[in-house]
Amino acid sequence: MDAAVTPGRLLLIPTPLGDEGPPLLPPEHLREVQRLRRFVVENEKPARAALKRLGHPGPIAELLLQRIPDAPTPAALDVLLAPCLEGEDLGLMSDAGCPGVADPGAALVARAHGRGIAVVPLVGPSALLLALMGSGLEGQRFTFHGYLPIPAPERATAIAALEAASRAHQQSQFFIETPYRNDRMLETLVRVLAPTTLLCVACHLTQPDQWIRTAPVARWRADPLPTLGKRPTVFGFLAQH
How many CA atoms lie less than 13 Å away from 39 in the CB half-sphere?
Answer: 33
What is the model's pLDDT at position 2? 52
For residue 219, what pLDDT is reported?
Answer: 97
Is the domain spanning 127-238 CATH 1.10.3720.10? The answer is: no
Strand, helix or coil for residue 94: coil
pLDDT number for residue 19:
81
Q: How high is the pLDDT of residue 4?
A: 64
Dihedral sign, Cα of residue 219, residue 220, residue 224, residue 227:
positive
The predicted pLDDT at position 239 comes to 97
Q: Write out pLDDT tens, residues 138-152.
A: 999 999 999 999 999
The per-residue pLDDT for 102 is 81
Q: What's the CA gap between 16 and 125, in Å, rounded?
A: 7
Q: Which of 170, 183, 180 is nearest to 237 (CA)?
A: 170
* Residue-range domain boundaries for the chain: 9-121, 127-238
Give the single-character DSSP code of 180. Answer: G
CATH 3.40.1010.10 matches 9-121: yes
User: Which residue ranges of the chain lie beneath pLDDT 50?
Assistant: 1
What is the per-residue pLDDT across 3-54, written as a single tens digit (0 to 9) for each?
566 789 999 999 888 887 777 788 899 999 999 999 999 999 999 999 998 9
d(CA 86, CA 64): 16
